[in-house]
Chains A and B, each alone.
Chain A
């Protein structure tokens, strides 16, 4: 007879991978809705197409690796990867671009490294980085937000968008309908100061609200994940604070040459990455202190890449670089274990 008195709660619900992935998908809904609202049907079509492909590749790889199909297909991890790729791509990206991305993520970055839980790199970011360096033209062709073009919904109804993504026909409205993202505008503004760029660029002057709204939606999803304890606050907060601090510092010293911190925090992939990418339990640091370091380093790298690098947004590269460093961070941030007076640091620790 057991004499151990247990305190409440007495009923647990096992938190399976499938459960976590379902919550992540739920948390992505506001962001996806906002992107659809401001950038058209493209995002939804990309998500459906990417998820379909991801399931297909996942099934094929599981079959080749002689793993149980139902068990792994039912955990939704492939679909979450597909959704992350789909929302990171330009909404009007051609079908094969998404296809190459999903193939690289699922087959190369996930299964060749040993499948779910074994991948040292975030699959969605591997795919994004590969696409960005391979197809720079397609990857930087974002459509303008609808607040800017005004009659967006009538220009790009559902079936036309479908045709642009899957059809071979050259879209007539690409020229008037696509343009640089705010990050592009700031990065490639020529000799203008930041303020002049703001005044001259349509996207910056009028369209920035769309990016703010999408970022706010991702933030909402992130708070939901925090509330449900799917992720911890450490990595996102460290990343956002670092990015905010360092951009304020540069903006404070030289506002003509550097963008303001709000701009850095609310454009590009900042919010999406903060809550959905760098919190990946597999490829990031494991301890809470490790996550603080991990997040802070990503914030720093992103600022460096955005400001002085060749690519307008640097999240994919920053995340991949820090994925590489995650085991090293883990080595030096082990928490003190029970019964030991000091934490183990590095390999030679004896306590």
Chain B
């Protein structure tokens, strides 16, 4: 059986993006994207969990009885989340404190459960790993874009506190875009996340519509469509 990796990649990053199309995992998405560093931290953690859980679920896909598959998936995901939580506690303690409850809550991220049940349990190991990676990257990109948007609007700067994730060298990465900015509290507060995500989804739909239009315009028009056949559907 050949696996279409190009399709998996495009699905994860664009056509079936967990945050923009499936609208899964919105709780952490909306809650932690007040800055780039928070968004990136959660994005990375979610991606790692997604890849590992897809891998494990795919390996054991033939041994798991269908009736109890969901509890088993939850246990697999929960073990990886616990591992990630301990790792973050060890290496990025301050970020761990900032993200707080949203790290353990990765367990309940529907995007991860959804991929396990919709893809990994039906597909071979390599395809499942690629799918997990691409879905994770798609999710993280949206997180980081939304985080960047909110941080820029809310504080007038970008990449503040990057040392929480990348060590002391990253402390100087902060870019102050607007000097003497008063701060736009709305963008940092939860409603800003809703509005920001709504605008991003709208933008994606606009791009899709434009692409579709272009595809239609360039595609040759069918000269003679087959004559419609009456199909008898009743009695």
Q: Which residues of A contact B (CB under 8 A)?
A: 100, 108, 130, 133-136
Contact = CB atoms under 8 A, between A and B. Distances in A.
Interface string B156-187: 00000000000000000000000000101111
A319 to B, nearest CB: 16
Contacts of B185: 133-136
B195 interface: yes
A24 B182 CA distance: 35
Interface residues of B, number: 8
B195 A108 contact: yes
B209 to A, nearest CB: 14
A130 B186 CA distance: 7
B189 interface: yes
Interface of B: 182, 184-187, 189, 191, 195
Contacts of B186: 130, 133-134
Contacts of B184: 100, 134-135
Contacts, number: 16
Which 7 interchain pairs have the tightest Cβ spacing?
Answer: A134-B186, A134-B185, A130-B186, A134-B184, A133-B186, A133-B185, A133-B189
A20 to B, nearest CB: 30
A108 B185 CA distance: 17
B205 to A, nearest CB: 13
A100 B185 CA distance: 13
Question: Does more than half of chain B's interface fall in helix, strand or loop, or is it mixed?
Answer: helix
A130 B184 CA distance: 10
A287 to B, nearest CB: 31
Residue of A100, A130, A133, A134 with highest tally of chain B CB at under 10 A: A134
Contacts of A130: 186, 191
A135 B181 CA distance: 12
A50 to B, nearest CB: 19
Nearest to A104: B186
A101 to B, nearest CB: 11
A167 B191 CA distance: 31
Contacts of A100: 184
A100 B191 CA distance: 16
A169 B184 CA distance: 21
A134 B191 CA distance: 11
Contacts of A135: 182, 184-185
Contacts of B189: 133
A288 B187 CA distance: 38
Nearest to A108: B195
Contacts of B195: 108
A15 B187 CA distance: 41
A121 to B, nearest CB: 12
Contacts of B187: 134
A212 B128 CA distance: 70
Nearest to B195: A108
Nearest to B185: A134
A164 to B, nearest CB: 16
A64 to B, nearest CB: 11
16 contacts: A100-B184, A108-B195, A130-B186, A130-B191, A133-B185, A133-B186, A133-B189, A133-B191, A134-B184, A134-B185, A134-B186, A134-B187, A135-B182, A135-B184, A135-B185, A136-B185
Nearest to A138: B182
B26 to A, nearest CB: 20
A86 B83 CA distance: 54
A130 B187 CA distance: 10
Nearest to B154: A134
Contacts of A108: 195
A136 B189 CA distance: 13
A130 B182 CA distance: 15
A133 B187 CA distance: 10
A53 to B, nearest CB: 18
